[in-house]
Structure formats: C-alpha cells, structure tokens
Amino acid sequence: MSRQGARVRAWLRAAAIVASLGVLAGCAQLPHTGVIKEGPILQSGLNSDYLYYSPSGPVVGQTQREVVSGFITAATGPQNDYAIARQYLSTSLRSKWSPNDEVLIQQGDLKITLGENNTAIIDVGVQASIDAEGLYQAKPPGTRRSFTIGLVKTGGQWRIASAPNLTVVIRPVFDVIFRSYPLYFFDHTFTKLVPDVRWFPARASTATRLVTSLLKGPNDWMADAVESPMPKGTKLAIDAVTVEAGVAQVNLNPRALEATPNARQYFKAQLTATLGKLPGVNSVQVLIDRSPQDIPDYAESALAPSSTNPVAIADGRLVTVGATTFEPIAGTRNYLATLGANDFALSADKRSLALKSKSGTYLMLLGQVAQQPTLVDSRPKQLSPRYDHRGWLWTATATGSDAFRATGYLGDSADVLAPWIGNFQIHQFSISPEGSRIAYIASIDGTRRTYLAGIVRNRQGQPIALTKPVQLPAAHPWPVSIAWCSPLNLLQLYRNPGDSEAIPVVLTIGGASLELDSVTGATQIMANTSGSSYFALTQFGEVLQYRGYNWTPFAGGVTIAHMAN
C-alpha cells in the first residue's frame, strides 16, 4: 500500500465515516498538511462550520509552489467560509474569491507548473463537478481541466493575486465533507413532490444554500415538468436560514407578498420536505419581511403502494410470481390466448391491464363482465408498455418523433410531443414513481445511452410533452434495461452484445453510481419503487432476486415479467 493510500485510509477512520459510494482512481494528490481531528457525527447535526479536516495556513518563507499547493489543499476545508484558504490570498482577492461557484472532484493526478510572470498552471483530472447550485455532473473518462493562478509578493511573502472561483477535492475528501440533499418541487397538479438532488458541504449554512437554490428553481431539464409557486424575484430577506428548537425560520423578501395563499401553502410544503432532511429540523416557519406567516400545512397525496413481487406471463397465464408458487390473476387467461399477447403492463392497483401483441397494444379493465379489449395503439415496432402513477398507459415505438403515446383508462389516446427524439432508436423506458420524469435507453449511430427527461402534464394530469433530455453518466458501454427503484434512483442493467455476464448498477439521479454483483444471462431488470426488491429476468426464463448482495433463484418458466406499476 502506498503512503498516500495509507494516509487516506487513516484519515477516513479518524473521521469515523465510511464513504458508501465513490472509488479513488489513480494516484491522486492528497492533502499533505493540516490536522486530523475527531468530529461530531454528521447525522446528529452541525451547530457550526466545524469539520473533520482542519487545513493549515501559510507559513513564513514558502515558495511559490508551496503557496499554490497549500492553497489548493486548504480549499478542501470550508469551515468559516474557507477562512484558512483565504489566508493564502492577497488582500484584494480575499473577499472576492467565491469558492462555492464550482467544485472539481479530482480523478488521477494534479500537476502544478510554474510559468512566466509569477503564474502557476494547474492541470487536473476531473471525475465530476458541482456548480454553485449544487448540481452534480459526472465527466467522461479522461476529462482534464487547466486553470491559472497568479502570484504576488506582499510583505516579503508570496500570496495568490488571482485564482478561479473553484475548489479541487479528491473523492475521499468529497465523500466525507459533501452530502446530497434533495430539493422538492411540485408536479403540475400540485399533488406530488419531485426531488432534485443537490450536493453541498455538511455545514451550518447548508439550510441557507438549500432554500436559496429552491427559490432559484429546478434543474433546466426539469423546469417545464414541475412547479415553482413563488413569484419570480422572491429571495431570502437576509442570507441566512436559522434553526432554533427544531424550527427552521425562512425569512423572505417583500416580493413573497404577491404569492397567493395556495402558493404560500405549496411553498411551505416544499420547504418542509427539503429542510426536513436536515438533522435537527422538525418544522418550518415562513416569515415575510420578518413578519411570521400563518400558513396551514399541505401534504402531497400518497403514492400507490409499490408491489413487492413481479407479475409475469408463465405457461400462457398472467401470474404474480411468488417464491414457491404462481398466483394467477383472475380473468386474464382468455385475453392472453385470444390476442396472442407477448408482453403486458399492469397498473399498480391491478385494475387496468394492457396486452401487447403483433397487432398492437390493447387495453382492458379487470373485473368487468364481458368486456372486449380496446385496441389503443396499432403502430409497428412497439416497446413494452408502462403505466404511470395516475393510471395513464404509455406505449412507444422504437423510432419516430411521435414515439410516445399516453392513453387514459377510458381508451382516449394522445401523442406525447417530443420532436427531438426522431433521430433515436428507443429500446426501453421507465417512468418515475411520481410521474414527472421518464428514463429511456436509446441509440444513435450504433451507440446506446440512457437519457432522462421531464414529463409535462396539463392541469388534469394528462401527459402532453417531454422536455429536452439530458444524458445520464454511463457506468458501462451497453445499457439493455432500466427501472426506477425510488424517486431518487435508477436501476440499470448493462450487457455487452455476446457477453454472458450482465452488470446491474444503481444510479442516483444527480449523483454517483453503485455497481451490484453481476448476473449471468440477465436480459431485464425490475425493481419496486420503494427500493426494497430487485429482480432480474434471464434469457433462460429464470427470475432472480437480489438478496444479501447476491442474485438468488426466485422462479422459473417465465416468458416476460414486470413490476405492477
């Protein structure tokens, strides 16, 4: 083990925190100065900006290289607004430097090259970056960034006169100092909250940054799919959210007076969901221009219960798959035989069924006597259908700008506008538990990628369009299956053509990924939306369940399987 590797392990043990995600790749530059301290457990709350790593300030007689290196190292410590790092700066730069604008998560080495005119060029491998609003963006392998630092001699000592508004941290430091925090926005019907993950240092000022980002709005790709109820220009009256006796006090500027009573109620619900994730916050008090507001609580409607076991077509029947038996779903066998169904979707309440055959996708309501299936989509090359949480049936074709279609439970259909999708071939899609986001696997020019888009609905909840997508980071080259396993996470299956081993990966939207144990012959991945059950279907008709960090046999003789959704 290298000295640097041993130092990282010792440092993490001292912090008493295990980083569950993230692997240090390459021989990264490590902090080489500063004191390692035992700190409070982050989950118990922070009353100050005290953190585990206490960097050292400059000392007399340091060289240009030592000052630059010391500054980069000290910038990993955000205590007291990066007070130690600011000691390396000239008087004129000290108050102007804005370290929260961007964080670079280092991958591999960091090089310092001294240049002409008292400058230093920094070249660093970058695994991911975080912007001023806490948005995490994974970078392609091999990404590097270069920036220049200017130096000046002040009182006989070298100090930094110019530097970009960013900090550089290695992954183990990031995993200890930073935490993911979901901001919550409402869907268009104001019945479901939708998470938008951000990353900030775990500090006393985190609540302030969360509210500031909440008021600025969601991710660009989510903007048309969710609601920000407060009037534009609403800000914190003072740049601080205080927490006293478990109550987070959010003081807004007078622009908030223009909000309707309903808008204030929705916003309080957003604040409660967002700040309630912080240790020590039990409730929220909203003030406008220091005047407390009497705003009643508002609760989002509950999601439909998430099924535990998959539903499958087995031996010509539609069944719920148990550990030892198949439980037939009443009233479906004749439909499967008559239509020659080869795929299906079942709503979460198991009242609405869609069957896909060579002639198209048919819709029927279970439990109704003498009902005839209704053909709702006869287009060729259809994918597996899906239901969303509102009972809308989604069908899709592999190609075309009008690929997606949504059908209500009475059989009324409409295309979901997404003109930008015309150049792609779609392979599979999955809709988030609250119904405001869609993830899909698509290929162009022979390359497969996973994409994420927002679902735009009208006030009645009908899907009408998709937002322009963002590409999700690829853990491996060839995704074949995808399923939401919580409002924050996607379960993806990667399998290269010709390979027998498939690799499941759990991806946090707006965060990192975690690779699970590989599974032989898997072609499809399934999960319930509470994240408690993962299943895989193999090319041999076997259903496997992920238990105890291993894939174990669950059922056999299955043609196709899905979770009821």
- The 3 state secondary structure assigned to 382-419 is ECCCEECCCCCEEEEECCCCCCEEEECCCCCEEECECH
Tokens standing for residue 123: 């070249």
Angle at 489 between CA 485 and CA 495, to 5 degrees: 80
End-to-end CA distance of the chain: 48
Over residues 390-402, mean pLDDT = 89
Tokens standing for residue 102: 């961007």
Beta sheet of 343-346, edge-to-edge order = 343-346, 352-357, 360-365, 374-377
Higher pLDDT, 400 or 318: 318
- Which tens digits make up the pLDDT trace of 35-68? 333 333 333 344 444 445 678 999 999 999 999 9
C-beta of residue 529 within 8 angstroms of C-beta of residue 306: yes
Instruction: Enter the pTM of the model.
Output: 0.83
Q: How far apart are CA 388 and CA 345, in angstroms?
A: 10
Q: What is the pLDDT of residue 32?
A: 35
Residue 14 has pLDDT above 70, yes or no: no
Q: How far is CA 333 from CA 373, 489, 550, 559, in A?
A: 13, 34, 34, 14
- Which tens digits make up the pLDDT trace of 341-394? 999 999 988 889 999 999 999 999 887 766 789 999 999 999 999 999 889 999
Which pairing describes strands 404-407 and 470-471: parallel, antiparallel, or unpaired? unpaired
Q: How far apart are CA 325 and CA 555, in angstroms?
A: 8
Share of residues in the chain with pLDDT > 70 (%): 90
C-beta of residue 320 within 8 angstroms of C-beta of residue 309: yes
Q: How far is CA 482 from CA 369, 373, 503, 522, 525, in A?
A: 35, 28, 12, 12, 6
- Which tens digits make up the pLDDT trace of 173-184? 898 889 999 999
